[in-house]
Amino acid sequence: MRALVLFASMLAGPVPPPAIAVQWRSGAEGDEPDASLRASVRELIAGRDGRAPESVMDRALDRARVAVSRELPADLRERQRSLRAGLDEADGAYRGGRFDDARAELAEVLDRLHETPELPGAAASAREAHLLAAKIAWALGEVELAEAALADALRVDPEAQLSVREAAPELVERHQAIQSALLAGRDRDWIEPQLSLPDGATGLSVEIDGVPGSRPLPPGPHFMVVRRDGHEPVAAWRGADQPWTPSLGAERVPNDPNAATATDAIDAIDAICEVLALDLLVVAERRGARVGLQAHRCGAGFGPLWIGPRDQLGEGIAVALDGPFESASASLPGPWPVVLVEPPAGPVDDEVGPVERPWYRRGWVWGTSAGVAAAVVGGVVAGVLVGGRDRAPASLDIDANDFIGGL
């Protein structure tokens, strides 16, 4: 039975490692982590299962905010695949001489593009569809329809070239003639789009026909998209001369850099997990010389909190990643315990005899001078705090009872 399970797992292929990202808290009590600390955490996480450190994402919040405005959700990715398949089917029908089937497929592709203008490459796909429509019309002797389709293709990409490897030489000549006339009228006929962006909104970017920024456009409809990090994109298929005041898309990932770890912001954690398709999100924070780590298993909960010095990060990563992930809220943003280092007490044994006074309680320390006493005690206390144990200087071997009256 065990051999059968092993064979089945071999057929299924290796199990991909869990997707992990790191989010550092800063501001409030947290200090900004330096680059080497960020790299150390990622390398230690990667070392747990032998993956490349680059596969552990850093700055999860920033990545998620950018992804929301630029990456496609699953339903739009499926539409994009379907659209690509439709273009391939139309091209196959054209090459097979089934012009009516090709035209029907192209009409459906263009309808889908106009319904989802936010699709990456929408303008390029539209140009491809219009060029194919021009080739079909040219093959049928429909010169006016072919020229109209060429004009539609050039409207969304006026600088594009058409090669004789893609179309008949006569059709390429018509393309060049229409393009020359279009470019010649740039200063006279082209229109600056009238976009009115919301007052006070920051971080907005405009993309028209797949090209960033606003610019004069040939008359006619274009693919227009307004993006803002953390928000869903807003898109439209509009004429260049049509005024447009786009509303901001819904914010899916908050902009507050600490919201991802606040106890009342589990929705933000879930949003980061969903957008980046994570299995684990490791939340980290540096406060002075100490580092705090707490992991969240996406869809489950938070694991134990680890707080410790930087040179013990390996231990902290193990605690954070091993779970269990049973807490509904993060404890990392709260107060951290104060670390108190006390010198250990000396040995006590009643049977041995009188207890020897600790060296810092002996009279000679305080009977010489205040400056010497402060220097000696201060140096040893510093050694206690750093080294963790009480060590008297090796050169001090005087018995205080010999000259201070047996105090």
Tens of pLDDT, residue by residue over 121-156, are 899 999 999 999 999 999 999 999 999 999 999 999
Q: Give SS3 for 90.
A: helix
Residue 59 confidence (pLDDT) above 60:
yes
Q: Give SS3 for 235.
A: strand
CA nearest neighbour of 306 among 48, 58, 41: 41
The pLDDT value recorded for residue 282 is: 94
CA nearest neighbour of 287 among 256, 320, 323, 333: 333
Distance CA 272, CA 21 (A): 10
Distance CA 195, CA 238 (A): 11
The pLDDT value recorded for residue 63 is: 87
Q: Does the CA dihedral 69-74-75-77 come out positive or negative?
A: positive
User: Which of the pair, 382 or 104, is modelled with greater confidence?
Assistant: 104
The owner of tokens 């008359």 is: 219
Q: Does the CA dihedral 175-179-182-185 come out positive or negative?
A: negative
The owner of tokens 């250990």 is: 344
Q: Could you tell me the two tokens for 233?
A: 């994109």
- Do 87 and 124 form a contact (C-beta atoms < 8 A)? no
The pLDDT value recorded for residue 134 is: 97
The per-residue pLDDT for range 25-44, each reduced to its tens digit, is: 876 666 889 999 999 999 99
DSSP 247: P
Distance CA 160, CA 148 (A): 16
Q: Look over the chain and give the mean of its residue pLDDT values, rounded to a whole number.
A: 79
The pLDDT value recorded for residue 341 is: 53
The pLDDT value recorded for residue 345 is: 59
The owner of tokens 């009188």 is: 354
Query: How would you class 261 by CB atoms within 10 Å of its CB: exposed for 0-12, middle for 13-18, buried for 19 or more?
Result: buried
Distance CA 359, CA 376 (A): 11
> Can you give the C-alpha Rg of the chain in angstroms?
35
